[in-house]
Structure 1
Amino acid sequence: MVTEPVYPEVAPNGALVVPVRPPAAREAVAVVDYQGTVRGQRVVVLQATEWVFDVRAVSEAYKDDRGRTVVDVASEQAFYTADSPPATTLNAEIVFVERPSL
């Protein structure tokens, strides 16, 4: 598990309970452009009319037999409940790492 430290601002009156800002927003990065490990990452898939969430990459990006860069993905539920989740191979240009590393 990866964690991010919280740095609350100290209230002018020295109060111990102060509002905490939410974490900085991160922009999703296409798998073809991502420099880190993709396998196991939560990803978002672009479809013709919608974004598909709750998906995990089950492989690293690789070249298929037609020379395209692709990645295998599975539903998040299957990723956590099956030893070998049923995967779908998608073009890596339409699969985005949801929360890329800072």
Structure 2
Amino acid sequence: MVTEPVYPKVASDGSLVVPIRPPEPREAVAVADYPGPVRGERVVVLQASAWVFDVRAVSEKHRDNRGRLVVDVVHEEAYYAGRTAEPTTLNAEIVFVERPRTV
């Protein structure tokens, strides 16, 4: 698990105030270009007319029988429910790691 520190501020009355703000935005990275392991990562899939969210990678990137770089994905509901869902194999160029780890 990766954590990010939160720095409380001191209010005028001396109490600690923890600012509630979203984490800094991170640019999604195509699985084809992602340097780390992708199995288990939350990913976003680019389709012809929309982005598909709530998807998890269930394999590392690999070459299919035609030589294309691909990754297997399932809907997040199936991933967390522990159901054996048939994965969909997609081109690694259109699948993006949603929140890539910062170094």
Question: Common fold, TM-score beyond 0.5?
Answer: yes
Q: Residue 18 of structure 1: CA displacement?
A: 4.7
What SS does the aligned partner of 2:22 have?
coil
Equivalent in the alignment of 1:72: 72
- How far, CA to CA, are the matches of 1:19 and 1:4 in structure 2? 14
Computed over aligned residues only, the root mean square deviation of the Cα atoms, in angstroms, reads 1.7
Q: 1:84 to 1:74 in 2, by over 3 A?
A: same
Give runs of aligned pairs for residues 1-102 of structure 1, distance below 5 A. Answer: 1-11=1-11, 14-102=14-102
Q: After the TM superposition, which parts of structure 1 deviate over 3 Å for at least 4 consecutive aligned residues?
A: 8-15
The AA in structure 1 aligned to 2:31 is V
Q: Structure 1: any 5+ residue segments left out of the alignment?
A: none
> Do the aligned partners of 1:78 and 1:86 also contact (CA within 8 Å) in 2?
no
TM-score (normalizing by structure 1) = 0.88
TM-score (norm 2): 0.87
Deviations 1:16-67 (A, max 9, x none): 1253443111010000000111000000000000000000000000000111
Q: Tell me, yes or no, if the aligned pair for 1:8 and 1:20 is still in contact at 8 Å.
A: no
User: How far apart are 1:70 and its partner, in Å?
Assistant: 0.2
